[in-house]
Structure 1
């Protein structure tokens, strides 16, 4: 007898797939074909007039945002685990941008859409508004990116990656520091302690160097001009 695997079911808004049903179905079929250790597997879907469901693999630890906001669970995410989570998200985005055909822009990279498995490995999830890079795509819907550009490019994900990486290191969204770090003239005035999660011990020198490198890299992802940001493939962690 085969062992049944646990699954997670996401119910979509009733109007989501009805806007462009053919396009929606094409995207779902393509996403089912994605196989990467840092991307949550989409097993299947169920669509009818009343319900639209996506069936994913079940990931043990739940979403990163919940863990970071929990006083007890967040302390289990030591600096090395956090660095590994950031690397995992970068690997997932690199796969989507470079190895998928056509390339895929997730559009909603955030701590709510990154899940952790039992080994604290990152799994990018919920491609509800993912878009394939084609000339006729509609405008970018990533809210943070809308402040800078209305064009759909991989830089939408790069910007969100920068915000997420800093959130993981700080343990919460940086708020006003996002603008400060995006500005080359004010970035150097930010103290490292202001960017670290105070719930964790101050990092040792070896780990501190890695965190400083990631902070500089993440800050470059926030630059106002998208062309000035690194591509996700150029982000080596």
Structure 2
């Protein structure tokens, strides 16, 4: 019987003894491997950091080029030329806002900040970093040079005007996809809203109406006669007259405005303006002058007196023609707004109605200038103040014990159908024509 050879397991094997030299070599190898791994890790981290830094640089460069492209497309170079050419004139400080500041001010142009929308853009309410409340007008997508010119034109004109009844422009932003204008915030809507919104109409007093008319007339007289260069607004209408919390009137929207040198009496332009307010002579000839604004203001006066819109879907004649015809046929009391009847004195209403008719003359030479219009309206206000409160027609009727509306109309004019179906008079109007945009 053979005796099996015993097996020696790994655990039972004797450890291998290393010499001092061999042990040192092993340690060196381990250290080298460790260092190499750490070096590779550090190298990778450095490469990642360089990659991130390079990407950020490229993004900033890309963003800068995008902003430069927007600046040029939005008329920045043209604006710089305009500013440099007006050095030495009364050019007010104009701020070029960063898009980031306006995004922060308007909560990234949130729908909750929208004040209004129109054909030319959207207006947002915002707060600047210095606490100023502003209205930021974001233009619609610009696709032609005419729109750029209109935008730059408004900036250049408003930057040179400082008048309490003309909207103040704080600055603009040209580095966004579309140009942005930053105005003072006027809080109480437009004259159009107060005249034509029935919820506001009943509380919009006669005193406010004639004061607003006088303020707008004074501002237009300033633009025509007292500014460093004469300025024709070209788009006066009730929706471009803003009202603050005290119902102070402020003229806005100077996109279609034109400056004219002292030695010129008119400009020949492509016809621009709003249907219902267009001067018929300007429409036919393309020759713009101060009397074109006078005509548009006459339409606003007619709106103030009647509470009616310049153009209505129910009336294809237009307010200008209908008002002129009513005054001519001496049945203009028929179309007065009830608030005007209740609160206004007969003489002052008659004076303003006659003034409105003169402003609406087809022959521009027969229209008064805005200085004369402003002076007449101020005189009406002084007369009203001297007469004191409680002198309106309705007040007189109530004192006599017959304050119903029907009695008033019976005394001041018949309700003849002729006054409501008036034809075109000898002074042919153009209110039937299609709207024209500038």
Does the 8 Å CA contact 2:205/2:339 hold for their aligned counterparts? no
User: Using the alignment, how far apart are the partners of 2:143 and 2:206 within structure 1?
Assistant: 38
| Equivalent residue, structure 1, for 2:289 | 153
SS of the equivalent of 1:56 reads strand
1:203 partnered with 2:327:
no
With 138-147 and 66-75 compared, the bigger mean Cα shift is at 138-147
1:75 partnered with 2:202:
yes
User: Using the alignment, how far apart are the partners of 2:143 and 2:290 within structure 1?
Assistant: 22
| Equivalent residue, structure 2, for 1:178 | 320
Does the 8 Å CA contact 1:44/1:54 hold for their aligned counterparts? yes
SS of the equivalent of 1:115 reads strand
With 154-163 and 125-134 compared, the bigger mean Cα shift is at 125-134
Unaligned runs of 5+ in 2: 1-128, 312-316, 378-438
1:226 partnered with 2:364:
yes
TM-score, normalised via structure 1 length: 0.86
User: Using the alignment, how far apart are the partners of 1:202 and 1:22 within structure 2?
Assistant: 47
Q: What whole-Å deviation, never above 9, does each CA across 1:74-93 have from its counterpart, x for those lacking one?
A: 22211111000101110110
User: Using the alignment, how far apart are the partners of 1:162 and 1:21 within structure 2?
Assistant: 30
Which has the larger Rg?
2
1:42 partnered with 2:173:
no
Query: Could you tell me how far 1:182 is from its partner in structure 2?
Result: 3.9
Query: Could you tell me how far 1:41 is from its partner in structure 2?
Result: 0.9
TM-score, normalised via structure 2 length: 0.49
User: Using the alignment, how far apart are the partners of 1:10 and 1:23 within structure 2?
Assistant: 14
Query: Could you tell me how far 1:96 is from its partner in structure 2?
Result: 0.7
Q: What whole-Å deviation, never above 9, does each CA across 1:133-179 have from its counterpart, x for those lacking one?
A: 25665234124435322211111110000000110121122654522
SS of the equivalent of 1:233 reads helix
SS of the equivalent of 1:202 reads helix
Q: What whole-Å deviation, never above 9, does each CA across 1:64-122 have from its counterpart, x for those lacking one?
A: 11122222322221111100010111011011111112211111111110011111111
Q: 1:108 to 1:210 in 2, by over 3 A?
A: same
1:57 partnered with 2:189:
no
1:66 partnered with 2:193:
yes
User: Using the alignment, how far apart are the partners of 1:164 and 1:16 within structure 2?
Assistant: 32
| Equivalent residue, structure 2, for 1:191 | 331
| Equivalent residue, structure 1, for 2:252 | 125
Q: What whole-Å deviation, never above 9, does each CA across 1:192-229 have from its counterpart, x for those lacking one?
A: 4323212565235xx33212111111111111111111
Q: 1:22 to 1:118 in 2, by over 3 A?
A: closer
Does the 8 Å CA contact 2:206/2:339 hold for their aligned counterparts? no
SS of the equivalent of 2:135 reads strand
Q: 1:147 to 1:101 in 2, by over 3 A?
A: same
SS of the equivalent of 1:96 reads helix
Unaligned runs of 5+ in 1: none
User: Using the alignment, how far apart are the partners of 2:205 and 2:279 within structure 1?
Assistant: 33
1:19 partnered with 2:146:
yes
More helix per residue: 2
Which 4+ stretches in 1 moved above 6 angstroms? none
Query: Could you tell me how far 1:181 is from its partner in structure 2?
Result: 4.2
Q: 1:215 to 1:15 in 2, by over 3 A?
A: same
1:139 partnered with 2:270:
yes
